[in-house]
Amino acid sequence: MAFPNLVPTSRSFESGDYPVKTFKAQSGAETRILYGDKRTNMKLSLTYSNITDANAALFLIHFDSETTGTFSTFEIADNTRLGWAGHKRDLGAANSGNRWRYESAPQQVQVRPGVSTVTVNLIGVLT
């Protein structure tokens, strides 16, 4: 089962960084060494407010049976970026050779019978 193709109600994205090691001398001079040519460690936080329990369960099932928790990587659905007018590569991980994995388990909050809010935190990792 693929990542649920639902439109989030809120989304935040951190674009990660290139693998840079910074050294600082006692004089204050800074030296940086670039260890790679691919940006990584981007973070994507998605909130799906007031969705049906059936849709909320899709995330729990995906986390459990598809990705083995935080172990396996995957691609996200296009609807995850809906509302973003820029290029989808700028709000993604694949362009830098990354794939998404769960940074933590999906959080499900029961709002009322049959209605839940789910928060999903993803992190981009080089594969």
For another protein, which is the closer residue by CB, 41 or 47?
47
Min separation Cβ 62 and another protein, Å: 19
- Is residue 109 helix, strand or coil? strand
10, β-bridge pairs: 47
For another protein, which is the closer residue by CB, 41 or 49?
49
- Considering only residues 49-78, where is the footprint of another protein by CB under 8 A? 49-51
Whether 75 contacts 100, CB under 8 Å:
yes
Min separation Cβ 4 and another protein, Å: 13
For residue 48, what is the enclosing H or E element?
A: strand 43-52
Whether 101 contacts 67, CB under 8 Å:
yes
Q: Does 110 bind another protein (CB under 8 A)?
A: no
Which positions touch another protein (CB under 8 A)?
Answer: 7-11, 49-51, 82-84, 111-112, 115
